[in-house]
Amino acid sequence: MLYKSYYNSPIGELLLVSKDNNLIGLYLKNQKYYLSNIKDNLQLKDDLPIFKKTKDWLNRYFNNENPSISELSLSPIGSPFAKEVWHLLCDIPYGKITTYKELAIKIKEKLNKPNMSAQAIGYAVSHNPILIIIPCHRVVGTSGNLTGYAAGIDNKEKLLRHEQVDLTKLFKPKVK
């Protein structure tokens, strides 16, 4: 059985999804890929321990603390490759950023591959089912482009500002 709960955050209403007392999803309402990896019906159940821990974690995060990802039992649904990428995202420190290219180099070395495309990394990052906690918002283009956030570029910028990331060398992609 899959359970859900809601959290009102400074960037909007978040949907928390749990299975077996593990957090499997954290989605912003109307984000791209909303519930894309979840096919079962969700039952509202606010009193689960994982939801209480996650809401406490989010409260501390939005109160300018730096709670540890390891405090939560996370079990995102995805391919083995995507899970490797999401695991690397968890290593990006609070208030810091990295690039898709830097992640591609790390995954290439970790998986002992001759090469790895930044686009493959971008696909996995954009399909991260646990926003904010698995910090995909901390990944930018090599040129400083704030591209590729499923919850929207404005929310990515808000989260980076919240973490006091220096945005002076970063820019929003031009809308076509």
Asked if 93 contacts 86 with a C-beta cutoff of 8 angstroms, the reply is: no
The catalytic residues are 136
CA distance 80 to 84: 6
CA distances from 85 to 11, 80, 106, 107 (A): 24, 9, 9, 7
CA triplet 11, 15, 21: central angle to 5 degrees? 130
| 96 exposure class (CB count in 10 Å sphere: 0-12, 13-18, 19+) | exposed
